[in-house]
Amino acid sequence: MVFDFAKPASLLRVMMLGEIYSKAGRKAVSMHLPRLRHEYHVDLVIANAESAAGGYGLTVGTAQELLKNGIDVLTSGNRIFDQREMVEWMGTNPQEPVLRPLNYPAGTPGKASFQFKTALGTVEILNLNGRVYFNEMDSPFRVVDQWLDQRQQAGRVFPVIIDFHAEATSEKVVLGWYLDGRVSAVLGTHTRTPTADARLLRNGTAHVSDIGMVGQYHSVAGLEVESALKPFITHLAGKSRPNKRPAGPVTFNSILLDIEPVSGRSLAINRLDLMLDDDTK
């Protein structure tokens, strides 16, 4: 289906942002997302926010800031608990639309899915983490099968959108095919580098390997260029630093989906990639 920016009234439009990185990403959200929601007739906005707090996890304050500025549901990944305050907060605030991956060990605080009500019906958002290079995680294939079985037994038939936070492109592509026809979309995050493989799979599942990020363009996936470069040149171990003083343009990577709200079948997936001026001080 060719993407219709006017959006047919019968279809649900979802925007998912790439990983929001540090102050530059949060500023871009506050300055531009309300306008984009209106311009593209968006019913639901999802964003991965695990690097929103200076590149290291998420804080209560940054989560509340992003939710106030037009994001409906926040997903995360392997670094959601980099800021220790999130351990207690996610355990004591189950009503908040802030997710951690389903395949964390049993007993991990927080929830992995959230049901969001739109004017065209409910959508469920699920957070998963890849296992390649993340061996502490359970198998995303096994846990998502169990989750979908439980969902079916409970009679939940509305659309499902999955943020699959993973390192390896191969794992992301395989999970997309594995879930084709069983969920509305499998959208990859984590590398903060956008991929050009957005497509509709045979049975109506939308897929992209990585959405990208919302963050400073002159960076290495949000990191300070010089500190990210040093280990490759010197072969000495070092910790790359988030760019503390963002300047210059901001990249705004996102995906737009059009979904049939009854069947949950995706009819269109398109990238929306913008280069935005940044006046962050």
**pLDDT digit string (tens) for 2-27?**
556 677 889 999 999 999 999 999 99
Q: Can you give the pLDDT at residue 271?
A: 97
pTM: 0.93
Amino acid making up residue 66: L
Query: How far apart (Å, rounded) are the C-alpha atoms in residues 261 and 123?
Result: 8
Report the C-alpha gap between 273 and 251 in whole angstroms.
Answer: 7
Quick: pLDDT tens for 45-60. Answer: 999 999 999 888 999 9
Distance (Å, rounded) from C-alpha 241 to C-alpha 44?
A: 33
Can you tell me the distance from the alpha carbon of 165 to that of 172, in angstroms, rounded to the nearest whole number? 8
Higher-confidence residue of 229 and 173: namely 173
HSE-CB of 65 using CA atoms within 13 angstroms? 18
Higher pLDDT, 153 or 241: 153
Evaluate the CA torsion angle 89, 91, 95, 101 in order and state its sign.
Answer: positive
Which whole number is the average pLDDT over 228-237?
Answer: 77
Residue 86, number of CB atoms within 10 A of its CB:
25
Taken as a whole, the chain contains a residue count of 281
Q: What is the pLDDT of residue 244?
A: 58
**Among 19, 5, 9, 21, residue whose Cα is nearest residue 224:** 21
Contact call for residues 15 and 44 (beta carbons, < 8 A)? yes
Average pLDDT over residues 228-249: 71
Averaged over 24-38, what is the pLDDT?
Answer: 95
Beta strands, E only, the chain: 12-17, 19-20, 44-48, 73-75, 113-118, 121-129, 160-165, 185-189, 199-200, 206-208, 213-216, 250-259, 266-276
> For the chain, what are the domain ranges?
12-216+249-276
The pLDDT of residue 280: 47
Backbone angles phi, psi at 171, to 5 degrees: -65, -40
Residue 102 has pLDDT above 70, yes or no: yes
Task: State the Cα–Cα distance between residues 200 and 265, nearest whole angstrom.
Answer: 10
Q: What angle do CA 201, 12, 62 make, to 5 degrees?
A: 95
Instruction: Say whether pLDDT at 227 is over 90.
Output: no
The pLDDT of residue 1 is above 80: no
The larger pLDDT score, comparing residue 265 to residue 56, is at: 265
How much is the average pLDDT of 184-211? 98
Distance between CA atoms of 44 and 277, rounded to whole angstroms?
A: 25
In this predicted structure, which of 63-67, 135-139, 154-158, 207-211 has the lowest mean pLDDT?
135-139
How far, CA to CA in Å, does 24 sit from each of 27, 55, 222, 246, 273? 5, 10, 9, 6, 16
The reported pLDDT for the residue numbered 281 is 44
CATH number of the structural domain 12-216+249-276? 3.60.21.10
pLDDT on residue 277: 82
Q: Are 64 and 39 in contact (CB under 8 A)?
A: no
C-alpha to C-alpha distance for 189 and 174, rounded to whole angstroms? 15
- d(CA 184, CA 219) in angstroms, rounded, equals 33
Instruction: Mean pLDDT check: name the lowest of 2-16, 125-139, 155-169.
Output: 2-16
**How large is the average pLDDT for residues 149-154?**
96
Secondary structure of residue 241 in the 3-state scheme: coil
